[in-house]
Structure 1
Amino acid sequence: MSQASCIALLRFIGVLFIGISSISMSWAAIDTYEFSSDQQRERFQLLTEELRCPKCQNQNIADSNAPIAVDLRRKIYTMLQAGEPDEAIIDFMQSRYGDFVLYNPPWDHRTWLLWSLPFILLGVGLTVLGRLLWRRRSQAQPQALSEEEKAALTAILKESEKS
């Protein structure tokens, strides 16, 4: 294969790669919403970043490309256009999708363990650490010899002096 044909093949592969990548980029969903004010745009961004995508593991609605996230962004936009306050939008999403959509779920009878578990684990860890240190400290202190041990030690020393 000549040098000219190698260069032509590399150009063809490069053009093909650029063409395929530009086609795949055009398929990406891009939300474009018109807002009446900058304040409304900021509210939209804050709400979409504050709410978690129900399908994705740990991704907010703003960053997710899941179809449900697109629908939720559209719903937030329509609720903002209708003049709904942020609390009403969050309450709607929470009532529809549960506490999972909130990054900070409320404290109630269902979530007390979720909120308390870090402190419980910290307490257990400190207790275990304290017991280990106490046990090590008590083992490190020299203990007095009993009368029998003193007599045995004296006998061993006298025997070693004779030899």
Structure 2
Amino acid sequence: MRALFLGVMLALASPALAVQPDEVLPDPVMEERARDISAGLRCLVCRNESIDESNATLARDLRLLVRERLVAGDSDEEVVSFIVDRYGEYVLLRPTLTGSNIVLWLAPALLLVLGAGLAAVYVRRRAQSPAPTEAALSAEEEARLKDLLRD
């Protein structure tokens, strides 16, 4: 009984159920194109799911829009371009490597190189600095130390 309940819950939570039967295009080739495009577009409500996996109303509207554009004769690139023009580049699950995104993609590597360089300079300077020398205690300091140790 427990296994049956778990199976039903997993089936209900399955991303395959996000696309409703009334959304599916009659042409299997065009439906496959729509699924490929939808898999690369972010749900703006869920943020970490594609519109193909999301049950949000906005995701459904975007899936319908993708299918509408495909039926109108747009190429895959034109459909994605239309969605990006309307909602911004954030809608892409895999952002492009152009414009200001280059800074976002390269910043972690640049910071790592900068940090390694600063660490190397610090270690080199520390190795080159003279070692501290121990100065002998004066007679007065030795007498005071002996007094402290006796107590």
Q: TM-score, normalised by structure 2?
A: 0.64
Does the CA-based 8 Å contact 2:43-2:54 persist in structure 1? yes
Shift of 1:65: 1.4
| Alpha-carbon separation, structure 2, partners of 1:58 and 1:48 | 13
Alignment map for 1:16-27 (pairs within 5 Å): none
Structure 1 residue 71 and structure 2 residue 61: aligned? yes
State the Cα RMSD in Å: 3.1
- Paired with 1:99 and 1:142, the residues of 2 have a C-alpha distance of 56
After the TM superposition, list the runs of 4 or more consecutive aligned residues in structure 1 that deviate by more than 3 angstroms: 135-139
CA distance in 1, matches of 2:26, 2:114: 51
Asked if 1:37 corresponds to 2:32, the answer is: no
Of 42, 61, 86, which residue of structure 2 is paired with 1:96?
86
What is the DSSP-based 3-state SS (H/G/I as helix, E as strand, rest coil) of the residue aligned with 1:100?
helix
More RCO (CA 8 Å, sep 6+): 2
Which structure is larger by alpha-carbon Rg, 1 or 2?
A: 1
* Paired residues for 1:137-152 under 5 Å: 137-138=127-128
Is 1:81 the equivalent of 2:71? Answer: yes
TM normalised by structure 1 equals 0.60
1:31-82 deviations in Å (ceiling 9; x for gaps): 12033133x2321121111111122222211111111001000111111122
Specify every segment of 5 or more residues in structure 1 that has no aligned partner in the other structure, as ranges.
1-13, 154-163
Note the residue ranges of structure 2 that are not aligned, 5 or more in a row: 137-151
Structure 1 contact 48–62 (Cα < 8 Å) conserved: yes
Is residue 109 of structure 2 the alignment partner of residue 122 of structure 1? no
Corresponding residue to 2:124 among 110, 122, 134: 134
In the alignment of these two chains, the number of paired residues is 122
